[in-house]
Structure 1
């Protein structure tokens, strides 16, 4: 992503409703998996490490994070996370079958060769290991936000399912995420096509009341969508198992 945008990203990632809501959803999905606290967990695209820190505080002892960004890993280290590394998500420097869970939130769309990345994620998972992946949805929602973030693509449910299955995963649950805000987001993205583009994407600092309201809406949705598929949303997520 653009350097100026990345600095803004890191300043907001702990409290911003979008990032906090997505972490909440990841946490809900992890809780469903009922992994032992001894499970080896890898987060690909860990950024400054807020999810890794949450996992460690919950008692997960084997938590590893990687990110392609040196400033992100430096920030994670400043936050007290020891096992974090600058690394390409499509070329992992870990032995085969090293992890029980791989988490990749809004990472796959940044990688030119999605199949190479998914093969690597499958390689480092133990047989029966779990993958949690989030990606942006719908090609028609493409905007300056995607350009600033250096995205290669947005996903349909079918695209994500086929990519996972082609590369050795069994999809257990696949659905849209953030459906409550789909229509406002779609309206804004369509409007942006006739207005001058925002050079730094869609990240905004919101008043605390507004931020908390949006976060609580997402948390409510998270508890529903982890169980039931929903027909629309601005992201797609999947829970998948490494085929044995």
Structure 2
């Protein structure tokens, strides 16, 4: 097997319809063959359990089958029906909707999570505006995003990313919608080796069924097992080479 290099520059502009279609195809296939991982298996759990104990009306957007918030008493929203069916089977409250049009009243939640989602949508202003709309003043927001457009690879394109963020751009976007960043941590489980990413994408492109089996049965369990504890620092000042961050934010404006 010859594996070509998949490193590339940022993608050509795509429409919402393009992104929705590619995301739905990729994640419906992924979640159809996956099992649900309980929230307490992730390194986000110490933080989440701390914040969940202080809140009562929780929303997680686009969790797939990797929810970070407790299944009980949390509202989950996703575009993937296979993911929603499995979440519901485990007792979660679910709704089929998109981040840009959440079916909830203003100020409905005091704890909102959106992991790995803003980079998938064209209108991130509208998406974050919806998160701000349904969050009450003082609510907590957990948000993860990939950083640095110059770090773009074709793998970002393949999994349906629209952008990577410069640190100041995500800080400014949050501020425009009334959120301040309280603390942050390096986040994510992407391999450091570009060769591993190239091989993984080759299999996803040419032998998808086998790649999905290995991801769901081997690589995902191993990745979860060997996660490092999150190391939070006050505010947000990512060092060089940081691929993805988790931001703990508070809504400060009505």
**Above 0.5 in TM-score?**
yes
Q: Could you state the TM-score of these two structures normalised by the residue count of structure 2?
A: 0.72
What residue number does 2:79 align with? Answer: 68
Query: Partners of 2:163 and 2:251 in 1: how far apart?
Result: 24
Aligned residue for 1:236, secondary structure, equals strand
Number of residue pairs matched by the alignment: 224
1:73–1:85 Cα contact (<8 Å) kept: yes
Matched, 1:31 2:49: yes
The farther-off stretch of 89-98 and 225-234 is: 225-234
Question: Would the alpha carbon gap of residues 147 and 212 (structure 1) be closer, same or farther in structure 2, given more than 3 Å must change?
Answer: closer
Q: Which residue of 2 aligns with 1:221?
A: 229
What's the Cα RMSD here?
3.4
- 1:126 deviation in Å? 1.0
Q: Give the Cα separation in 2 of the matches to 1:13 and 1:78.
A: 12
- Taking the aligned partners of 2:238 and 2:168, their CA distance within structure 1 comes to 14
Post-superposition offset of 1:4: 5.2
Q: Are 1:91 and 2:97 an aligned pair?
A: no
Contact 1:28 1:226 in 2 (8 A): no
Where does residue 242 of structure 1 map in the other structure?
251
In structure 2, the CA distance between the partners of 1:5 and 1:50, relative to structure 1 (3 Å rule), is closer
Q: Is the 8 A contact 1:100 1:130 kept in 2?
A: yes
Deviation at 1:13, TM superposition (A): 5.8
Match of 2:29 in 1: 7
Can you list the C-alpha shifts for 1:131-164, whole angstroms capped at 9, x where unaligned?
Answer: 0011223323323332232211112322221211
Structure 2 gap ranges (5+): 1-22
What is the rounded CA distance, in whole Å, between the counterparts of 1:183 and 1:243 in structure 2? Answer: 36
Q: What is the DSSP-based 3-state SS (H/G/I as helix, E as strand, rest coil) of the residue aligned with 1:128?
A: strand
Find out whether 1:165 has 2:187 as its counterpart. no
Say if 2:123 is the partner of 1:105: no
User: CA 1:210–1:187 in 2, change beyond 3 Å: closer, same or farther?
Assistant: closer
Residue 156 (structure 1) aligned with residue 166 (structure 2)? yes
Could you tell which deviates more after superposition, 125-134 or 153-162? Answer: 153-162
- Check whether the contact 1:119–1:168 (CA below 8 A) recurs between aligned residues: no
Deviations 1:98-129 (A, max 9, x none): 00100001111111111111111111111100
